[in-house]
Each structure stands twice: as C-alpha cells, then as structure tokens.
Chain A
Amino acid sequence: MVDSRRWVLGGLSSLTLGWVLLMNLASVSAAEGPRSQAPVWVGNGSCAATSCHGGARERVGLKGAEYSFSEAYDPHPKAYSVLFDDRSKQIEKRYRRLADLESARPWDDDACLRCHVHQGYDSNASRSRTDRFTVADGAGCESCHGPASKWLAPHVEAGWKGLSDRQKFEGFGLRPSKDLLVRGKICAECHVGIGSTDVNHDLIAAGHPRLNFEYGNQLAKLPKHWRIEADLARNPDHEARVWVLGQILGAKAALDLLESRATRSIPENSTAPWPEFAEYSCFSCHHSLVKNGWPSANTTLTARAGQFQWGTWYSPMTRVLRPVVPGPDPGSGEPIEDLLKEMMERPSPEPSVVARQARAASANLARLADRINGGLLPVAKVRAMLSEAVNSDADEQPLDWDRAARQYLAIIALDRTIGQLDPNRSARPSRSGLEALRHDLELPRRLEGRPGLSDSPGPWKLEKIQADFDSLIENSPQAGRIGPR
C-alpha cells in the first residue's frame, strides 16, 4: 500500500517535475541572479506521513522511519519543548532581567527560537513559512535539510534520483548533507553560531550552557536517522575525516562569528558586547581560587599575565593536523591567526582590525576545507596524526583543560579510523588508558563541600593528565609505540 500510494503521488506530479526542474535549474544558471522566489519552510508535518518518513520505529536504520526515529531518539525535535523547563525560564529571566519567573517566556523569544526552532525562524516573517509550520516541532527536519517548499513535491518524483546533490540543492534548496563538510557547516550554524544565532557571554552568564562544538564527537553521539554504513561506504576514512574537517570548519565558523561580533560592536552607539568574553577560555577567569594557587596556572598561557586566553577551543590543532595540512611557507610572514591572537589578547582589541583579520583567516580555512574534502586521507597520515595527538608535551604552552579535552577527542576519532582501516598493523592506545584520561578530564558534577552543580574542571590535575597522555605513548599490544620516538 505504501509503495502504491507513493507511486500514485509521484505519478500525479511527475508531469510537473520535468518542468519545475527545468525552470529552477534554468533560473539558477541564469547570470542575472536571484532565484525565482525564496523557498519557504513547510514544517515536519509534511515529512511525517507514515508512508513517507514516519514509518514504524522498528524500522530504524531503514528508509521510511527517519521522522519517527528522530522524534524518539534525536534531541533536536525537543529543542523547543525544553524551553518550557524551569531551567530555561530561569535563563530567560536573567537574560532579559525580568521581575519574576512567570514573565519568562523563552518559547516566545526569537533569540532562543533562532536555534531552538532554527529553520530561519523570525516571528515577524510569517510569510517565510506555511500554515502547517509549527514551532512545536523544535529544530525540525528542515533545520538541516533546508526549506522544503521547492523540493517537497519533486523529491518523490520518479526523476529525482537521477539528479545530482548539487542539482537538488541549487535547483530546489535541498542541502547536500551527505557531504561531510556541508553537514558540519549545518551543525555549526547553531552549535557555533553565525551572528544572528549567538550564544554569547551574556547568555552563558544567564545560565545557558557553553557551546563547545566538536564535530567528530557530536556527530558520533547523535542518534542517526540514516545508515552509518552509508557514511562509511562514501568515506572509508569517515571518523578521521570528520575530525579533520571539524577542526577546520569549526575554526572557520568561529572566525565568522568573531567577525560578526566585532563588526556589530563598531558603531559608536552600539551596545553589542565587546570584548566578547565568550571568545576566550572560560577558565582564564573562572577557576578555583584555592587549588590553582595564586597566581593561577593560567597566568603563563598568555603573553602578558592577567590577559584572557583566546582561541582555546576553536583554533585548529595545527601540530596534529600537520601531516595533512602543511605549515605556511617560511618567509610568508607572520600567520594571520597569530596576529589575530595577539590582537585578541590585548585588553581592548580593536574591532575593525579583528574583523578584517578574522575575515582573511576564515577565507584561508574555507579553501583548506575544500581541499581536504576533495580526497581520501591515507592511513599513514591518520597514523601520523594519532601519533601527534597522544603527544601532550610537544606544545610550548602548558596543557589547559580545553586543549587536553580536544586532544582526547582527536585521539578517539583518529583511533576509530585506524581501527576500521588498519586494525592489525598500527599501534593503538589501550582502552584502559583512554578510559583513565576521559575520567580525569571529566568535569566533577559537584565540587567538594560546595553547593550547586559544577561546570569547572575543579582542582586541575595537570600532572595526572599529562601522565595519562604519556601512558598512551607506551608500547601497545599490537604494533609498538604510538607516539613520537
């Protein structure tokens, strides 16, 4: 029945598909510019039919159950309903400085909905969505796949499968999320921010969790409504590739956000926060007064004592990436990232300079991401990156929590690919060693003797964590030493 219904639907519109396709492609290729009309958001209801993507949940991993699976397991659809929680109301109350909790309506605040519904949400732009669209769907299907008005009918047509991903996007607005670079950019729209979506320090201080996007980790954790085998078939180096792309696209997204933040703060009457504290290492300022000692261990992390450390989460781990991303040519002058870091770590960074430098650095990364996305990562290079990732001593600066955590996530991702591509001949870190490292990096839920939930590393166990890394370098049962010799 399902198939026949789909077939009938397809039959009805198949006459128009050719025409629509032709028109759309024609208008895209036309040099004079804008697409016929902006696509609109139609809402999950259009995807959720039992015969389409709302099939029985038992069919997880099979086509036709994408919607039902996501509703059950994926956190994105709950992004809206979470706004009714007490915690969300508390955040809203503080963020908007409201008199009481009853006046806090985060579900009515565009600043929240721009991510928690996403899908280009703007309460004043009702014409950008159909009547069927509802905010209650949370970050719905179209958040990632793109506004569906133009591809909803065509994508069930017989000729649809014959189109390339590029044609589907340029002609109809369906985003090519199978491409890992595109997929990562989609995640970053909310999970890093793009200016109109911005979890800045005001919002974090009001209680919103810090965003520390790590593509590899977050994609691995996402309950997937598609077959991971398909990902692996397309990209045998899947985990390592996602990690490498994540380093680059995460940094690029963060730089674009920085440019936006800086630019918004320039006008004389601007109230946009600047310097924007969310750009900096949380633990530059927020650290235990007691266990870190005074001066704190952080003091040596910046050129001048007492400055905020910039670029701790999003700047690419260049040392680990070196096997696939060669350093700049000697003699090409100081890298733009270094200039930007120097500027950002001044007490009063000049926003126009920051915006300019961020734009230039972002353009470099965009080119780099495209290049990496173009070819397979050879096993030898993944192995070389893993060997760098376990080596915690190679950087000039002492380890901080952000870097240690990122390095751990790099090891996990690169090791998985080694496990898939070359399990017997490459040295691999022991599971117990990785487990020890994860345990020591975990933020303690509660700090001893203090009320409230903790979001700090607590007493920073630098030496212990360094030892955990070192133990990973030791000989592994399979094939010798992982780290540098």
Chain B
Amino acid sequence: MNLNGWKRSILVASLVVMALLGSRPWPVRSAEPPQGPDSFKYFGSESCNLCHGQDSANPKSFKESSKFIRLDEYVIWQNQDKHSVAYTNLTTERGRRMASLLHVEDVTRPEVGCLGCHSASVAERTNRQNVAETFKVSEGVSCENCHGPYSGWAAAHQDSSFRTRAPADWARVGFTDLRTPQGKAEKCLSCHIGNVAEGKVVTHEMYAAGHPPLPSIDVATFANAIPRHWYLPAERADPKVRKELGYQQGQLDQTRLAMVSAAVALRTSLKLIADEARTPARTGAPGQSWPDYARFDCWTCHHDLKRDGWRQARIDRDGPPGRVPVSEWPRTLVDLGIDRLAMTDPAAGALRADLKAHEQALRDQANLRPFGRKEAIARAAEDYARSTEILIQKLGEAKFDQSVALPLLRKLVERAETSTPDYDEARHVGWAIAVLVDDLAGALPRFEEIAAVLNQLDKGLKLKLPSGRNYEIEAQMDRALAVIGDYDPATFRAQMAELRALLPPG
C-alpha cells in the first residue's frame, strides 16, 4: 500500500500535535533538564501504523528506508504476534477464573497487577496524563511497550541519523535500546522474568490461580519466535546500512545475544528476588508478602511423589533435603559465559570465583531455613546481582566467531552430559545448543545428524515455541505440563552423549 494522501496528512498533523505536546525534533540539546520517563506520553499503536503498516507483500513503496527497516512491522505484530492479544487474553474464561480464584472482580483492573505486563503498564501505574487520547489499553503489548513512549522520539526517529545515535541519546528521549544484546534482553526479561519497579511481577498466587508458568527464556530463541518484525544485521542487503549498524562479517550475533541474555536473565532474576523481598506488604495487591514462592524453583515442589526419583540426586548440590532453592535456571549458562571470557581475558578466573562465591552465599541463605530470611536473602541477591554486571558488560564486548563458538558448544555439551538439570535448566541448555549449532552450521560436518538429535531433544523438552497469535493456551498448557511431568534428566544426558560424539574433535 502506498502512503496515500489522507494517511500522509494525518501523519503530518500528528507530528504537529506532538510537537505542541512537548516533543521536539531531534536532537534534544538544550539547557532544560532532560525529560524524565514519567513525562513521556503513550499514543498507542495507531500512530505507528501510519508508516509501519505497509503491506509486506508489496514493500517497494519505501524502498530506500526498507534497507534498514521492513515497514510492515505493525502488520506482523497485529496479525501474528502474541503480544497483541496480551490484553484480550485477560478477558477470556481463564481470566475470569483467575479473577475468582484471586478474589478480585476483574483482572483488567490496574490495581490487580496484570496490566504491568499485559498492557502499557507505566501509563496505567502513574497517571492518565502519560496517556494520549489515542492510547488504548486493549492493544495489549504494543509498539511502545518495547520501543518506549512515543512522544519523546516521534519526530526525531524519522531522521536517518537517529539510527546511529548512541543508546544513551535514545534513552534521553525515552526510546528503548533494542539494538544491543543487553538492551534487548533487559526489555524482554522485564516482563518474562519480572521487574518490581515497573510493576511487572507474576506472584505465586497468580500461578496458583492459573497463570501459565513463566518458562526459562533464551532471548535469541524467543525473539525469533515472536515472529521477528525486524532484520538481523546479516539480512540487510545494503552494505552501507550494515556498516552503519556496526555489522562485522563472521560475528555470530545470535550466539552473542544468547550468551548476553543468559547473564541478563540472572541479574534480572536476582534483582527481582531482592526487590520483592524489600517491598513492604501492599494491601490489596495479591501475593505481595514475602516469601513469594514464585521466586523459588517451581519443580522442586511441583512433582508427583515417588521414591528414588531423580530429584533426590540433586540434594547434595542443593543443600539440606526438603529446602527450596531460588529459581535455578538463570544460572545455567554462567559458566559457559566465563568460558568464553577465559579465552581472551586473564581476569575471567577471578570473576568465576567471585560469582561462585555469591551463588553459594545465596544458596546458603535459601538453605538456612525454608525460603531463607527475608533481609539476608535480599542482601545476598543484591550482592550477587552486582557481580553479574561485570559478566554482562564483558560478554557484550566479547567477539563471538566460529573459532570461539565451536569450543563453547563442545564445553556446553560436555558439561550437560554429567549434570542433573531440572526441566527449565535442560531447556535452557537445549536452546543454547540450538543457537550455537545454527550459527556454526557450516563448521559442523555432521550437521544433519546433529539436527536429528536436536529434534529428539525437542520432543522431551518442547524446545520449539508456539508462534503466532491464534494458538490455544489451554492445549499448549496441557502439552507443556505433560512434558514437564515426564521429564527425566537421564534421557537428556544420553542425548548429550550422542551430540558430543557428533561434534568435530577439539
């Protein structure tokens, strides 16, 4: 579809309105203090639709720009992306049942705490002044939830110089850095793990009332399954555009994203523990009192009782039997990240020891008594989170090419082969392997056989994610829970052994 006359005039009009509302064209350089995030306004996805709603079957209309962006982003989001039904899902039968089990009238009321993730939370939490007339909460997780409230950067982002600005410049106008792996991971994980300050917390009470379990998450894998409405650097045909965006031949962006996002996941989960433990009990909001069991490992408790079950083999690792560790999966790939740093960074060993010490300190607190003591847990989690900053930063700067990725893949598989991971940990390993194998495809002579093992792995772990907005939550839940109930690490280890035999020798 071409940008026809009336659409163009609406666009122009809206820009004028925004300018009047306090937005200004790029660059923002003035003596005034920069606008804080609370002063930016949400406009809703229709403002984006004006330009980004092109028909993907006929993208020629914006030929020049489309070397950088697709211009059918809105269409993909609207038609295929589950995020667009995040709000309407609250109004289904499951939503009503959850309301009744949570003893609230309606889960779409802001005070219940669902909108934090299921819609544009910030606006709802602060005040209506942050929301323009055009904003509709019913759009669910729409453009601005990830990219930032529109008012600060509406005009500026139409300038081609905007794309090469530093993330700090974007932040000043409320535009989210989704370019760097760290920025991308932080944004996704603020909902998919949680963030107290942003009002995004899935409590155990919500789970018990029927919220599907938040799985472990690899941002590279999840982002591809949305499905993507953006180009990967290598997919941008124009070398000039690629260069502008810092693209380097041979760099494995997906591998880097997976490694960085694993470290960000750890920090996010630790911060969530600390912040929730420090939040004073809020009356009226469900589950706002410590301990929130949702911060602890789900499958330590939720399983059939059986004797000689594989969980008992984990007792040595997890401390006294019968205690519940904090969520385990975010630690799964920390060692692999340090393995990468150790290839080029002599300080990696010290960082590994430091992180191990913090991990142990947190574990000790959680083991001291069931769920630990609130203050001590919060402190241990905070200290641990601080140490992960270094890991995140160094991984973000590290190079990832095939000469690095191949030994990493080997280490990952070898380590997994002798471990007793729970379901979420095993899945996290599975995704990391899939990403590495994908990036290394050309360097793996027995790729076909490896892919066959990954298919087997997918059967036991449900690695493939349901894509698209028309999938059935209820049917998916039954399948997912059956897979979790049947999971057995012995099978996983056997598959790791098979994989190891198929990798090129080190």
Contacts and interface: CB of A to CB of B under 8 A. Distances in A.
Given A95-B321, A347-B291, A205 B305 contact: no
A299 B286 CA distance: 14
A373 interface: no
29 contacts: A94-B315, A97-B319, A200-B322, A201-B370, A205-B322, A274-B370, A277-B370, A285-B302, A286-B304, A287-B302, A287-B304, A289-B302, A289-B481, A289-B485, A294-B477, A295-B97, A295-B207, A299-B209, A300-B101, A304-B103, A304-B286, A306-B206, A306-B207, A347-B290, A348-B289, A348-B291, A452-B308, A455-B305, A456-B304
B293 interface: yes
The residue in B208, B289, B316 that gathers the most chain A C-beta atoms within 10 A of its C-beta is B208
Given A265-B369, A271-B368, A452-B306, A202 B320 contact: yes
Contacts of A206: 312, 315, 321-322
A220 interface: no
Given A273-B323, A289-B484, A306-B206, 9 more contacts: A90-B312, A200-B322, A207-B312, A274-B370, A286-B304, A294-B481, A305-B102, A348-B374, A455-B307
A288 to B, nearest CB: 5
Interface residues on A, range: 35 or more
Contacts of A458: 304
B322 A295 contact: no
Contacts of B203: 306
Nearest to A265: B369
B101 A305 contact: yes
Contacts of A296: 208
B485 A295 contact: no
Given A275-B370, A306-B293, A286 B302 contact: yes
Interface stretch (A133-141, A353-361, A386-394, A443-451): A443-451
A300 to B, nearest CB: 7
Contacts of B306: 447, 450-456
Interface in B247-302: 286-287, 289-293, 301-302
Interface residues of B, number: 51
Residue from A204, A270, A275, A299 whose CB has the most chain B CB atoms within 10 Å:
A299
A276 B369 CA distance: 9
Tell me which of A207, A274, A450, A452 has the highest count of chain B C-beta atoms within 10 A of its own C-beta.
A452
A455 B289 CA distance: 32
7 smallest CB-CB distances across A and B, nearest first, come from A306-B208, A205-B322, A205-B321, A285-B301, A452-B306, A455-B305, A305-B208
Contacts of B301: 285-286
A282 interface: yes
Interface in A437-469: 447, 449-456, 458
A15 interface: no
Most buried by B among A206, A290, A454: A290
A4 to B, nearest CB: 54
A380 interface: no
Interface of B: 97, 101-103, 203-210, 212-213, 286-287, 289-293, 301-309, 312, 315-316, 319-323, 368-371, 374, 477-478, 481-482, 484-486, 488
A204 B320 contact: no
A307 B206 CA distance: 11
Contacts of A201: 322, 370
A290 B482 contact: yes
Nearest to B208: A306
A272 interface: yes
A299 B488 CA distance: 27
Interface string A83-97: 000000010001101
Interface string A340-358: 0000001110000000000
Contacts of B204: 306
B101 A202 contact: no
Contacts of B371: 275, 348
Q: Kindly name the residue among B103, B302, B304 whose own CB sees the greatest number of chain A CB atoms within 10 A.
A: B304
Contacts of A294: 210, 212-213, 477, 481
Contact of B308 (A286, A346, A453): A453
Nearest to A91: B321
A252 to B, nearest CB: 25
A288 B307 contact: no
Contacts of B481: 289-290, 294
Interface string A285-320: 111111000111001100011110000000000000
A210 to B, nearest CB: 9
A453 B322 contact: no
Contacts of B290: 347-348
B370 A305 contact: no
A277 B481 CA distance: 24
Contact of B369 (A95, A205, A271, A287): A271
A453 B307 contact: yes
Contacts of B206: 306
Contacts of A305: 101-102, 205, 208-209
B316 to A, nearest CB: 6
B104 to A, nearest CB: 11
Contact of B289 (A95, A270, A347, A447): A347
Contacts of B305: 282, 286, 454-456
A306 B208 CA distance: 5
Given A271-B369, A286-B303, A294-B477, A347 B308 contact: no
Contacts of A274: 369-370
A449 B207 contact: no
A207 B312 CA distance: 8
Contacts of A90: 312
Task: Choose among B203, B290, B291, B315 the residue with the greatest number of A CB atoms under 10 Å from its CB.
Answer: B315
Contact of A290 (B102, B209, B322, B485): B485
Interface in A381-439: none
Nearest to B300: A285
A348 B290 CA distance: 7
Contacts of B312: 90, 94, 206-207
B366 to A, nearest CB: 12
